[in-house]
Amino acid sequence: MTTVSLTTVTLIYSTLTLIHVLILLFNKGCPDGWTPFGTRCFKFFDSHFSWTQAEKSCQSHGANLASIHSAEENAFVVDLIKEATGENRKTWIGGHDRVQENLWMWTDGSVWDYAIWASGEPNNTGEREHFVEINYSATHWNDYHEDHVQSYICARDASPKVSLTLGNCQCKCTPDTN
């Protein structure tokens, strides 16, 4: 029978705990089928939904309709859509002003700190355009009415992926990705 001292067990446990914490902090990943950008993961959906249906679909995947915070992120989203469709297809993103006219916000609660409206937009045609679509005019945005059905793009925070091998034992833990 092999005996292991309490100090050895404590040292092994402390080391494994530290490794686990470091993996959680530095090894963020995206679920299968999602594409990373910065600290988030994006996925294009070719289903044609209204803006509200699209947001509900994103939420069922632990995400929201995509918020966009820079020219680089906008270009990434445009490229992701073009890669999936072969064109600059009009696609729902998470911007809206349905709470108060011309007070734009994102469904994920992040700060509205970037916009690239097409010329003359947002214009609230018919006083019913409260939802943002990308690729309206090249890579620019348009406000549009909720009833229109089209593709959409979701974004979510990257999830930690943990993989640890100890001798012949391998443990792979990935949080539920919906």
Does 154 have pLDDT greater than 50? yes
Alpha-helix runs per DSSP H in 36-148: 51-60, 71-85
Confidence of residue 19 (pLDDT cuts 50, 70, 90): low
CATH number, position 53: 3.10.100.10
In a domain, 173, yes or no: no
Tell me what pLDDT residue 22 has: 47
Tell me what pLDDT residue 44 has: 99
In a domain, 150, yes or no: yes
How confident is the model over 163-172, as pLDDT tens digits?
455 555 555 5
In a domain, 79, yes or no: yes
Quickly tell me which residue has 């404590």 as its tokens: 10
35-37/64-65 β-pairing: unpaired
- Structural domains in the chain (count): 1
Q: How far apart are CA 63 and CA 107, in angstroms?
A: 10
- E strands along 17-138, which residues? 28-29, 35-37, 40-49, 64-65, 91-96, 105-106, 129-134
Residue 150 structural domain: 28-160
Q: How far apart are CA 100 and CA 103, in angstroms?
A: 5
Whole-number average pLDDT of the chain? 86
Confidence of residue 159 (pLDDT cuts 50, 70, 90): confident
Q: How far apart are CA 92 and CA 22, in angstroms?
A: 36
In a domain, 141, yes or no: yes
Confidence of residue 79 (pLDDT cuts 50, 70, 90): very high
Confidence of residue 74 (pLDDT cuts 50, 70, 90): very high
In a domain, 170, yes or no: no
Tell me what pLDDT residue 67 has: 99
In a domain, 107, yes or no: yes
150-157/40-49 β-pairing: antiparallel
Tell me what pLDDT residue 168 has: 59
Quickly tell me which residue has 């391998």 as its tokens: 170
Tell me what pLDDT residue 165 has: 53
In a domain, 7, yes or no: no
Residue pair 137/119 in contact (Cβ under 8 Å)? The answer is yes
In a domain, 19, yes or no: no
* Stretch among 24-28, 98-102, 118-122 having the lowest mean pLDDT: 24-28
Confidence of residue 137 (pLDDT cuts 50, 70, 90): confident
118: Cβ contacts below 8 Å, ≥ 6 apart: 136, 137, 140, 141, 142
Tell me what pLDDT residue 13 has: 58
